[in-house]
Amino acid sequence: MSIGTRIREARKESKLTQIELAKKVGMKQSTLSELETGESAGTTNLAQIAAALRVNALWLETGKGDRQPSLAANDVFAGIRPPICSDTPIDGDQLRYLIDLFLSADDRARADMIGSAEELLRSSRTDLAANKPQ
């Protein structure tokens, strides 16, 4: 099964039209159509598509792994509150996706993910170190 077929099936199961999904993801309907028909092989919007369809991004991209995000990711999400240093609204679907990625990674990949996130935030948040869990 191709990525386009997986997107189309998940979209239909979510009872979304191409226009509705494209709007949720911030892409053109024609681009989504090209993805579903195989005219386009990939997209930079894969994480957003997976989040909008509430499916595992790895499954959506490769067909491997569970179709639905892990139950553990949803359990973890239930206890999350916004960080005290954040004034940016949290997008629940994107946060679930990030948690699912983190939980599906091995220890080394998790450490790399944390390091990358810290590096990205370091330039915009001087108080990151003060709020870092021990």
Extents of the domains making up the chain: 1-67
The region of weakest confidence among 25-39, 49-63, 88-102, 118-132 is 118-132
pLDDT recorded at residue 77: 46
pLDDT recorded at residue 124: 60
Contact between residue 46 and residue 32 where contact means Cβ atoms under 8 Å apart? no
Taking phi over 0 as left and psi of -120 to 50 as alpha, with beta for the rest, 38 belongs to left
pLDDT recorded at residue 34: 94
pLDDT recorded at residue 76: 44
Contact between residue 98 and residue 117 where contact means Cβ atoms under 8 Å apart? no
Confidence label for 37 from pLDDT (cuts 50, 70 and 90): very high
> 45: Cβ–Cβ under 8 A, 6 or more apart, which residues?
25, 26, 27
Cβ atoms within 10 Å of 110's Cβ, excluding its own? 14
Name the pTM for this structure. Answer: 0.55
pLDDT recorded at residue 130: 54
pLDDT recorded at residue 66: 81
pLDDT digits (tens, 9 = 90+) for 82-105: 454 455 566 667 777 788 788 777
Q: What is the CATH number of domain 1-67?
A: 1.10.260.40
pLDDT recorded at residue 80: 46
CA distance 52 to 105: 21
Average pLDDT along the chain: 77
